[in-house]
Amino acid sequence: MSRTLYSLCGSDLSRPFSPHCWKVVMALKHKGLSYSERPLPFTAIPDIENGATRTVPLLRDGDRLISDSFAIALYLDDAYPDEPTLFGGEGGRAMARFVEGFSQTVIHPAITRIAIMDIHDMLDEADQAYFRRSREQRFGMPIEEVAAAREQEIAAFPGKFTPLRHMLNFQPFIGGDGPLFADYILFGALQWLRITTGSVHLPQDDPAYAWYERCLDLYDGEARKVA
Amino acid sequence: MSRTLYSLCGSDLSRPFSPHCWKVVMALKHKGLSYSERPLPFTAIPDIENGATRTVPLLRDGDRLISDSFAIALYLDDAYPDEPTLFGGEGGRAMARFVEGFSQTVIHPAITRIAIMDIHDMLDEADQAYFRRSREQRFGMPIEEVAAAREQEIAAFPGKFTPLRHMLNFQPFIGGDGPLFADYILFGALQWLRITTGSVHLPQDDPAYAWYERCLDLYDGEARKVA
């Protein structure tokens, strides 16, 4: 069966950077499912699969089309129950939404303010115009103003990982002894930050950094291949 | 079999307030296990059960003695597998540690700064002396200074619940359709805040407040009985 993951890139097709798409890459690897990835610039997304989506990730799995990273993970776990679980049961399925909430509302806003100009600069001209327009509409200010607090955000960034550090006193992954989709949720955010800015902005002796490195090591270092 | 939960109170035995003890109350109710609660002032804790613990909750279950709220929840789930699960599988067991991390490192420090003088004032004289000494050692400053940022902490408090609000867009409890121990972890923090200060300091139209109210309604309003 043919499986295609549509993801997001800038001018360089070899450096897909979307946090949500990275969650799905890791979920597919976790499930041991083969796929081909098709990274797209922002402005090409509306044209794929007969206008099926305005956002990526979009997964084509045979005759199925699924968008939204969490929905894709739920789909994969239901469609391939014999492959390793992404959630570890009903409780894990529910609590992964809390981890998503933490990632989306605490970590993503900080990364946006740190990386927004880097992201802009990675894009082709037409995508830069789209990105500026859509983000300035969302934030109600020029993207340069969103980026104004960059240095303060970088200084405050490690402090946001205290919940993860507490947890790492008890276990190596959010999933416990091994990673689950909840790990990939938070990992995707840091992967986005690293690929767009060149650093995850965590100290090298930080247990949260060590956890990120453990995720980079998974699946033959799949996520490390994009520098 | 005789089951006793040793918990924490001030001068008023009928108003136990420890967040960690409330987690265990809710876990015992969740499991449908009968028990008697024995609230103790701080300075009485070292004398119970032949000096078994310096902190509560402490649960005696027949010939077993277990301390630490998370350890007690794990014990209850293992010892009573036929009663409703507190974790919903291995993934939930692991991810509850992340929720604990969030509660302990994001919510508890704020509550400490809001409630520390209220807690002090609830205690008998000998316990006030113990509380002041131990907290001033922990924080390296007079408890009045810890409380100095009280009003700012109250103003910032609702903002800390964005991860929960994101999750509540998808489901009514951290556990999904119904509560699990992860709910009781965060609930315990707000119960502590309400009993010591008279308010959870969340707006009445806040989905996070509605979630707290849902928890208060559980088990015939068990947690609402302490005003």
Name, in order, each residue with C-beta under 8 angstroms of A218's C-beta and a sequence gap of 6 or more: A26, A29, A179
Residues B43 and B100 occupy one common structural domain: no
Q: Which of B92, B163, B164 is nearest residue A88 as measured by Cβ atoms?
A: B92
Residues B211 and B157 occupy one common structural domain: yes
Q: Looking at beta carbons, which residues of chain B come within 8 Å of A163?
A: 98, 101-102, 104-106
Q: Confirm or reject contact between A156 and chain B (CB < 8 A).
A: no
Q: Looking at beta carbons, which residues of chain A come within 8 Å of B177?
A: 94
B177: CATH: 1.20.1050.10
A8: CATH: 3.40.30.10
Q: Note if the bond before B57 is cis, omega within 30 degrees.
A: yes
Per-residue pLDDT tens digits of chain B, which is 227 residues long: 689 999 999 999 999 999 999 999 999 999 999 999 999 999 999 999 999 999 999 999 999 999 999 999 999 999 999 999 999 999 999 999 999 999 999 999 999 999 999 999 999 999 999 999 999 999 999 999 999 999 999 999 999 999 999 999 999 999 999 999 999 999 999 999 999 999 999 999 999 999 999 999 999 999 999 98
Is residue B178, in this structure, part of any structural domain at all?
yes
The three state secondary structure string of chain A is CCEEEEEECCCCCCCCCCHHHHHHHHHHHHHCCCCEEEEECHHHHHHHHHCCCCCCCEEEECCEEEECHHHHHHHHHHHCCCCCCCCCCHHHHHHHHHHHHHHHHHHHHHHHHHHHHHHHHHCCHHHHHHHHHHHHHHHCCCHHHHHHHHHHHHHHHHHHHHHHHHHHCCCCECCECCCCHHHHHHHHHHHHHHHHHCCCCCCCCCHHHHHHHHHHHHHHHHHHCCC
Query: How far is A114 from B100, CA to CA, in rounded Å?
Result: 28
ipTM confidence score: 0.97
Q: Among A50, A79, A108, give the residue marking a domain's end.
A: A79
- Is residue A218 predicted with pLDDT exceeding 70? yes
- Is residue A16 predicted with pLDDT exceeding 80? yes
Q: Confirm or reject contact between A179 and chain B (CB < 8 A).
A: no
Q: Looking at beta carbons, which residues of chain A come within 8 Å of B88?
A: 89-92, 94
**Is there a contact between B99 and A97 if contact means CB atoms under 8 Å apart?**
no
Is residue B138, in this structure, part of any structural domain at all?
no
Is residue B133, in this structure, part of any structural domain at all?
no
For residue range A113-158, what is the model confidence (pLDDT) as tens digits?
A: 999 999 999 999 999 999 999 999 999 999 999 999 999 999 999 9
Is residue A85, in this structure, part of any structural domain at all?
no
Is residue A106, in this structure, part of any structural domain at all?
yes
Q: Which residue, chain included where needed, has tokens 């113990």? A: B130
Q: Confirm or reject contact between A53 and chain B (CB < 8 A).
A: no
Is residue A215, in this structure, part of any structural domain at all?
yes
Query: How far is A58 from A73, CA to CA, in rounded Å?
Result: 12
Residues A104 and A214 occupy one common structural domain: yes
Q: Which of A88, A97, A163 is nearest residue B94 as measured by Cβ atoms?
A: A88
A83: amino acid identity, one letter = E
Residues B50 and B112 occupy one common structural domain: no
Residues B75 and B104 occupy one common structural domain: no
- Is residue A20 predicted with pLDDT exceeding 80? yes
Residues B152 and B217 occupy one common structural domain: yes
Name, in order, each residue with C-beta under 8 angstroms of A162's C-beta and a sequence gap of 6 or more: B101, B105, B106
Structural domain harbouring B7: 3-79
Q: Residue A125: what are its φ and ψ, rounded to 5°?
A: -60, -45
For residue range A169-206, what is the model confidence (pLDDT) as tens digits?
A: 999 999 999 999 999 999 999 999 999 999 999 999 99
Tell me how many residue pairs between chain A and chain B have CB atoms under 8 A apart. 136
Residues B97 and B68 occupy one common structural domain: no
Is residue B190, in this structure, part of any structural domain at all?
yes
Residues B22 and B44 occupy one common structural domain: yes
Residues A114 and A212 occupy one common structural domain: yes
Q: Looking at beta carbons, which residues of chain B come within 8 Å of A90?
A: 88-89, 92, 176
**Is there a contact between B105 and A180 if contact means CB atoms under 8 Å apart?**
no
Q: How close does chain B come to A58, measured CA to CA in Å?
A: 20
Question: By C-alpha distance, which of A91, A20, A73, A113 is closest to B97?
Answer: A91
For residue range B125-169, what is the model confidence (pLDDT) as tens digits?
A: 999 999 999 999 999 999 999 999 999 999 999 999 999 999 999
Q: Confirm or reject contact between B164 and chain A (CB < 8 A).
A: yes
The three state secondary structure string of B17-54 is CCHHHHHHHHHHHHHCCCCEEEEECHHHHHHHHHCCCC
**Is there a contact between B167 and A97 if contact means CB atoms under 8 Å apart?**
yes
Query: How far is B71 from B80, CA to CA, in rounded Å?
Result: 14
Residues B41 and B74 occupy one common structural domain: yes
Q: How close does chain B come to A184, measured CA to CA in Å?
A: 13
- What is the tally of structural domains in chain B? 2
Question: By C-alpha distance, which of B205, B104, B214 is closest to B160?
Answer: B104
Residues B40 and B94 occupy one common structural domain: no
Residues B202 and B104 occupy one common structural domain: yes
Task: Region of A216 please: left (phi>0), alpha (psi -120 to 50) or beta.
Answer: alpha
Q: Among A17, A46, A79, give the residue marking a domain's end.
A: A79
**Is there a contact between A94 and B162 if contact means CB atoms under 8 Å apart?**
no
Question: Which of residues 96 through 155 in chain B touch A, CB cutoff 8 A?
Answer: 96-102, 104-106
Is residue B191, in this structure, part of any structural domain at all?
yes
**Is there a contact between A85 and B91 if contact means CB atoms under 8 Å apart?**
yes
Question: Which of residues 197 through 226 in chain B touch A, CB cutoff 8 A?
Answer: none
Query: How far is B209 from B187, CA to CA, in rounded Å?
Result: 10
